[in-house]
């Protein structure tokens, strides 16, 4: 299996949202809007969601409801941790360089 | 057009997998031009992704790859036979097969066109079977990759196609064709002559 690409911005937001438990599309949009103060459109959400599922970073949860929930997979957690660490390093560099000005 | 109707813009495979849940999501959201635009862009992205997969899938699937390469081989088989006839005529002195398709008739001219262009098409098909271009979004930019896949059969067909083309371009098209009388050009074609034709 080829190495999955780095998740897109919307992909990271979805992974972050699912890190607290399985959610369906509308719940993800509401959650993302709350914690990131940004609105992800339904099309953007499902484009990223399909990609994450294809890469094995999230998985659908069986449900009788039309609104199918998704959960983050162990690979998804690893990818999210790696992205968080990368962002932490970036923020650290930004803080140092901005402080020097 | 309602956003729920925009789902029709998605590929059938995508609709089959995500259609019901995506419809359920759209029903919960207020309709707006921004939402419609978002869904439209997403549908077009899904179509591009599907096209890219189809393009890549054929090339990277060994059976599909061999099928395309074999089609190329079948297509250039008459040209290959002609080239063998060339070799027989000019090297061994056997005239039969090649002289049989000489002459000024329209049918022969059409046959010449086919014999000259078929190996090019074959080469294109074999290249298509061996090389798979793919474009993916990577961070802020685009990542363009060329993936090569070739087994012995595909490589052998590509080699034969190049060989056939070389001989055809040298003998058939530029010197012996009744269709194009390009032999008067001042190009030193003798540079490209095969060993048996060098004087």
Q: Render pLDDT for A25-77 as a digit per residue (tens, 0 to 9).
A: 999 999 999 999 888 999 999 999 999 999 999 999 988 888 899 999 999 99
A90 in B contact zone (CB under 8 Å): no
CA distance A82 to chain B (A): 15
**Is pLDDT at A19 greater than 90 in this prediction?**
yes
Residue A35 to residue B48: CA distance in whole angstroms: 31
Candidates A37, A48, A56, A9; CA nearest to B22 is: A48
Residue B194 to residue B199: CA distance in whole angstroms: 11
Residue of B nearest to A49 (CA): B18
Residue B101 to residue B112: CA distance in whole angstroms: 8
Task: Give the position of tokens 């040298």.
Answer: B170
Query: Strand, helix or coil at B142?
Result: strand
Q: Which residues of A touch B25 (CB under 8 A)?
A: 24-26, 29, 42, 45-46, 67
CA distance B55 to chain A (A): 18
Residue A80 to residue B69: CA distance in whole angstroms: 42
The answer to whether the predicted template modeling score (pTM) of the entire model surpasses 0.95 is: no
The interface predicted TM-score (ipTM) is: 0.86
DSSP class per residue in A15-67: HHHHTTS-B-HHHHHHHHHHHHS----HHHHHHHHHHHHHTTSEEEPP-SSSS
């Amino acid at each position: 299996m080829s190495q999955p690409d780095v998740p897109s911005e919307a992909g990271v937001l979805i992974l972050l949202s699912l890190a607290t438990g399985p959610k369906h599309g509308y719940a993800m949009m509401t959650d993302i809007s709350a914690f990131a103060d940004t609105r992800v459109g339904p099309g953007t959400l499902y484009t990223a969601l399909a990609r994450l599922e294809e890469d094995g970073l999230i998985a659908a949860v069986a449900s009788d409801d039309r609104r199918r929930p998704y959960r983050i997979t162990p690979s998804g957690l690893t990818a999210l941790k790696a992205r968080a660490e990368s962002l932490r390093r970036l923020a650290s560099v930004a803080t140092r360089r901005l402080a020097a000005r | 057009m309602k956003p729920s109707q925009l789902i029709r813009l998605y590929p059938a495979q995508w609709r089959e997998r995500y259609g019901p849940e995506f419809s359920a999501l759209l029903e919960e959201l207020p309709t707006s031009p921004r939402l419609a635009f978002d869904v439209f862009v997403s549908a077009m992205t899904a179509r591009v992704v599907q096209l890219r997969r189809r393009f890549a899938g054929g090339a990277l699937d060994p059976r599909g790859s061999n099928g395309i390469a074999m089609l190329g081989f079948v297509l250039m088989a008459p040209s290959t036979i002609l080239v063998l006839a060339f070799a027989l005529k000019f090297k061994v002195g056997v005239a039969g097969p090649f002289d049989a398709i000489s002459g000024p008739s329209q049918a022969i001219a059409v046959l010449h066109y086919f014999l000259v262009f078929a190996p090019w098409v074959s080469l294109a098909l074999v290249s298509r079977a061996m090389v798979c271009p793919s474009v993916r979004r990577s961070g802020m930019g685009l990542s363009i990759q060329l993936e090569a896949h070739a087994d012995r059969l595909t490589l052998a067909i590509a080699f034969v196609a190049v060989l056939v083309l070389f001989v055809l371009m040298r003998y058939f098209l530029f010197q012996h064709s009744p269709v194009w009388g390009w032999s008067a050009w001042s190009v030193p074609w003798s540079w490209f002559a095969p060993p048996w034709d060098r004087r």
